[in-house]
C-alpha cells in the first residue's frame, strides 16, 4: 500500500516539475535500505531485543509519517473522469510490466543469493562474503540519483536498453569469472542495470491514456513484485537440481529480455 501511495505522490510531483524526478525518490529508498541494514546489524551486535527493535522502527516510521503528512498532495492534479476502473491494457503497458518483472526478479535474487554465491562459488574469505551485495547496493543507490538527468539527456528507451545490457553483462561476468574482483565488478554492473528500470517504468505507466495513474502504477508494480517474490525461490530450486552458477546464468536471460522488450516499446514521451 505504501509502495503505490508514495510512487503516486512522486509522479504527481513529477508533473509539477515537468521533468523526470521519480528515480531520486527510489534513490532515497535505497539509502534507507542501506541505513536500515546498518542499524539492524548494529542492534543485533548489541543483542538488542527483537520486540524492542520492532517498536523502535515503528516509532521512527510513525514519527516520519506525522512529520511529512502536511506536505503531501491531497488530490491528483487532474481528475480522471468517465474512465473505467478495469480495462484491457495495451501492448506497451504489458511491455512495461515485463521490464519491471525482469528487473525485480534479478534484484530479488541479488538480495537473497549474492552472499551465498560469494560463499559457495567465489569462495571468498568470511570478511568479503558481503562485498558483492555491498557493491550491488551502492551502485543501485548511486545510479538512481543520476537516472533522472540521464533520462532527460538520452531518453527512456535508451536507458532501459542499457539497463538490460548492464544486467546481462554483470551476471555473465559473475558466472564466467567467479573470482573476488570480477564477481564484485559483475554485481556492481547488475546494480547499475536494475536500478533505473522500476522507477522509469512507473513514470511511463503513470502517463497511460487507458488507466488512471494510481491503477496503472499498481498494475505494473504488481507484475514487478511477482518477480521480486518468486526470484529467490526459483534460484534456490534451480540451484538444488543444478548449481548456483547455472541459476545466475539463467538470470542473465532476464537481462536480455529487458533489452528485447525495450526495443519493442513505442517511444515514451
Q: What is the CA radius of gyration of the chain?
A: 19
What is the per-residue pLDDT for 215?
A: 77
Domains and CATH numbers, the chain: 2-264 (1.20.1250.20)
**Higher per-residue confidence, 76 vs 100:** 100
In sequence order, what are the residues at sequence separation of 6 or more whose Cβ sits closer than 8 angstroms to the Cβ of residue 44?
none
92-96, 197-201, 209-213, 220-224 — which is least confidently predicted?
Answer: 209-213
Say how far apart CA 30 and CA 48 lie, in whole Å.
Answer: 24
| The residue to which cell 528507451 is assigned | 157
Burial 134-167 (b: 16+ CB within 10 A, else e): bbbbebbbbbbbebbebbeeeebbebbbbbbbbb
Say how far apart CA 71 and CA 220 lie, in whole Å.
Answer: 26
Averaged pLDDT for residues 68-82: 71
What is the per-residue pLDDT for 173?
A: 97
The per-residue pLDDT for range 88-98, each reduced to its tens digit, is 555 667 888 89
Say how far apart CA 206 and CA 8 lie, in whole Å.
Answer: 8
The per-residue pLDDT for range 134-177, each reduced to its tens digit, is 899 899 999 999 988 888 888 889 999 999 999 999 999 999 99
* DSSP string across 174-229: HHH--SHHHHHHHHHHHHHHHTTHHHHHHHHHHT-SSS-HHHHHHHHHHHHHHHHH
The per-residue pLDDT for range 21-50, each reduced to its tens digit, is 888 888 898 888 888 877 887 888 788 899
Say how far apart CA 126 and CA 228 lie, in whole Å.
Answer: 27
In sequence order, what are the residues at sequence separation of 6 or more whose Cβ sits closer than 8 angstroms to the Cβ of residue 104?
194, 198, 224, 225, 227, 228, 231
What is the per-residue pLDDT for 166?
A: 97
Return the top range by mean pLDDT from 36-40, 78-82, 190-194, 207-211.
Answer: 190-194
Q: Would you call 52 exposed, middle or buried from its count of C-beta atoms within 10 A (0-12, 13-18, 19+)?
A: exposed
Say how far apart CA 12 and CA 213 lie, in whole Å.
Answer: 9
For the chain, give the mean pLDDT. Answer: 85
What is the per-residue pLDDT for 269?
A: 43
Amino acid at each position: 500500500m505504501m509502495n503505490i501511495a508514495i510512487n503516486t505522490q512522486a509522479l504527481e510531483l513529477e508533473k509539477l516539475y515537468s521533468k523526470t524526478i521519480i528515480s531520486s525518490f527510489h534513490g532515497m529508498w535505497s539509502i534507507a535500505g542501506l541505513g536500515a541494514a546498518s542499524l539492524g546489524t548494529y542492534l543485533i551486535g548489541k543483542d538488542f531485543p527483537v520486540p524492542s527493535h520492532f517498536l523502535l522502527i515503528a516509532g521512527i516510521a510513525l514519527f516520519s509519517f506525522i512529520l511529512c503528512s502536511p506536505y503531501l498532495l491531497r488530490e491528483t492534479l487532474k481528475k480522471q473522469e468517465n474512465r473505467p476502473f478495469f480495462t484491457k491494457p495495451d501492448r506497451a503497458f504489458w511491455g512495461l510490466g515485463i521490464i519491471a518483472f525482469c528487473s525485480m526478479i534479478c534484484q530479488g535474487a541479488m538480495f537473497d543469493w549474492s552472499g551465498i554465491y560469494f560463499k559457495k562459488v567465489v569462495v571468498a574469505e568470511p570478511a568479503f562474503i558481503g562485498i558483492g551485495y555491498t557493491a550491488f547496493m551502492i551502485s543501485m543507490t548511486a545510479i538512481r540519483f543520476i537516472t533522472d538527468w540521464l533520462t532527460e539527456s538520452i531518453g527512456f528507451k535508451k536507458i532501459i536498453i542499457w539497463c538490460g545490457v548492464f544486467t546481462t553483462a554483470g551476471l555473465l561476468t559473475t558466472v564466467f569469472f567467479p573470482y573476488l574482483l570480477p564477481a564484485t565488478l559483475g554485481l556492481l554492473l547488475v546494480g547499475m542495470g536494475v536500478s533505473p528500470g522500476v522507477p522509469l517504468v512507473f513514470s511511463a505507466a503513470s502517463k497511460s491514456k487507458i488507466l488512471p495513474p494510481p491503477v496503472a502504477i499498481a498494475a505494473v508494480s504488481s507484475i514487478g513484485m511477482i518477480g521480486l517474490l518468486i526470484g529467490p525461490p526459483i534460484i534456490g530450486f534451480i540451484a538444488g537440481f543444478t548449481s548456483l552458477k547455472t541459476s545466475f546464468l539463467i538470470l542473465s536471460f532476464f537481462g536480455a529480455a529487458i533489452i528485447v522488450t525495450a526495443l519493442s516499446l513505442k517511444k515514451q514521451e
